[in-house]
Chains A and B, each alone.
Chain A
Amino acid sequence: MLAIRTEQLTKYYGKARGILDVDLEVRTGEIFGFLGPNGAGKSTTIRLLLDLIRPTSGHAEVLGLDAHRDRLAIDRRVAYLPGDLSLYGDLTGAQTLHYLGNLRGGVDTTYRDELVRRLELDPSSRIRSMSRGNRQKVGLVAAFQGRPELLVLDEPTSGLDPFVQLEFERLADEARREGRTSFISSHMLPEVEHLCDRVGIIREGRLLAVESIATLKERALRRLEIEFASPVPPDAFRDVPGVRDLRVDDARLSCTVMGSLDALVKAAAGFEVRGIRTQDTSLEEIFLAYYGAGPEAPHAAA
């Protein structure tokens, strides 16, 4: 079963486009990263999934249920952390968690206390006087405390210090091991790349691509320099699979390799190798290399 499925999901705000024809599938039990620059339509998509706004056209299903018609049944099983989180300023952190827990019909307070401890949240101060990072912690505890089947987290790591970020990743990973699903938006791939199973990128309201992190890593581009003991013939490397931007100057070869290095290494093995230097590119760069030029650019998996 799919945790989230949208079909041609489209939202216009007046004449301004929110999102256009978004077809999205999030599998049960995975951590899905929803990536895109600010204003690309991430929050619009998420608020459509939660029935806070209604689509201009298209359709959304959450946990196999209709996002609008079955909203209550969905909300019993889903937790949501808004992107620009606002809580009740006059309540303390503890009161906020108590109130939101009650709206869910009561939660396991032992688990809540554990979350508060792990995120090092001081729940006794008022939301109004909390720093942005502490408010975000309250939001995270509120989202996790009911052990929902699906966590929809809009920019969950914004404002968090590195320690809390790490603890958040552990929590999301624990949820995954319990078979629960997380849908996490971010405008920074590095913040979520080691956490997510798959990522989708949205830009200017269109979903450009969905890839598994593993596939992206296979596509990893590496700058490579090989130094040989004596000059090598360029033709020996020209047709090696995955090799691009090949340059051979006497005994020095430089190129970019996409994916596996195996073929190139085997080709080089016919000569005496003095040294190899490589430089990895980040997934962010890969994504931008593939999809960076916007919706008009050719893309493999959109």
Chain B
Amino acid sequence: MLLRSVFTKTVRDLRWPTFWTALALFVGGGYFTLLYPTYATQFKLTELLDQLPAAMKALIGAQVADVSTATGFLNIELFPMILPAVLAGFAIALGSGATAGEESRGTIDVLLSYPVPRWLVVTQKAAAIVLSVVVVAAGLWVGAVLGAAASNSPLDSGRVAEALVMAALLALDFGSIALLLASGTGNRGLGIGVSVALLVVMYFVNALAPVISGLDSVKQASLFFWYLESNPIRHGISIGDSLVLAAVAIALFLASLVAFERRDLAA
């Protein structure tokens, strides 16, 4: 029974959104690896990319990808933009709803009249969110591996997993921003709005840094920089960069505990 604790209850609350998002990424991952041979032969991907202007290549992340394998194809199709957008958007939706959802629905009064510390409520909800993000990321991995197997495409499943870890950490950063803002104010819309705005701005700052000279000096402020800098799907996970992403998520999470602890909760 999933009604033992705030953690299990939250897992239960998130089961359908998690399932559907995981399914979407499963289909997405499977689509690109399944159809990779077709793309590779019909569209002559390597030559196609070579013809693109530098700015365009930067935007889609093509300057770091090698499309001669399905792994590289995934790297260019999903990992620079679509995957982080979906994963981060998912984490933002969950993070902003963690406690602010209970506040706006009015259930927080009942919940916090039971002997559970506020920090533990936030922690259990955050743990359930981490689990959901992992499941959704795993959906893409399973889809990609099955698609590659079916189409007999070359795919480095270990590297894909490593890149997914980085993407999940990036998503949790944005989820934590949403968590901090929403649990610190009780305003879910504020949490979503600011996090999505930061997601978009940080994406463009990093993507355009190679071609716009002014951005190069500030690109380290973008979380996308730490996510993509080491090109994880090609070279494997970077311990240093993953630690930066993890540290940001943990710091924001701890700040959420403090912010939520001190607040007057909405009636």
Distance (Å) between the CB of A151 and the closest chain B CB?
11
Does A75 sit at the interface, judged by CB under 8 A? yes
Q: Is A86 touching B114 in the complex (CB atoms < 8 A)?
A: no
Q: A43-B267, A73-B115, A99-B3 are in contact. List 18 more A-B contacts (CB 8 A).
A: A52-B109, A52-B265, A75-B113, A78-B113, A80-B113, A82-B109, A84-B106, A87-B107, A98-B1, A99-B9, A100-B110, A103-B5, A103-B6, A103-B114, A103-B115, A103-B116, A105-B115, A139-B110
Does B105 sit at the interface, judged by CB under 8 A? yes
A47-70 to B contact mask, C-beta < 8 Å, 1/0? 100111110000000000000000
Interface residues of A in 173-227 (CB under 8 A from B): none
Q: Which residues of B contact A (CB under 8 A)?
A: 1, 3-6, 9, 13, 105-117, 264-265, 267
Q: Is B110 touching A86 in the complex (CB atoms < 8 A)?
A: yes
Distance (Å) between the CB of B99 and the closest chain A CB?
13
Taking A99-B9, A102-B3, A102-B4 as contacts, is the C-beta distance between A84 and B113 under 8 angstroms?
Answer: no
21 example contacts (A-B, Cβ-Cβ < 8 A) are as follows A43-B267, A47-B267, A52-B112, A52-B264, A52-B267, A53-B265, A76-B115, A82-B106, A82-B109, A82-B113, A84-B267, A86-B110, A88-B107, A95-B3, A100-B114, A102-B3, A102-B4, A102-B5, A103-B114, A103-B116, A139-B110
Q: Is A86 touching B267 in the complex (CB atoms < 8 A)?
A: no
Return the chain A residue nearest B9 by Cβ.
Answer: A99
Please tell me the size bucket of the interface on A: 20 to 34
Q: Is the interface of B mostly helix, strand, loop or mixed?
A: loop
Does A85 sit at the interface, judged by CB under 8 A? yes
- With a CB–CB cut-off of 8 A, which chain B residues contact A78? 113
Alpha-carbon separation in the docked complex, A89 to B101 (Å): 13
Does A246 sit at the interface, judged by CB under 8 A? no
Distance (Å) between the CB of A15 and the closest chain B CB?
15
Distance (Å) between the CB of A121 and the closest chain B CB?
17
Distance (Å) between the CB of B264 and the closest chain A CB?
4
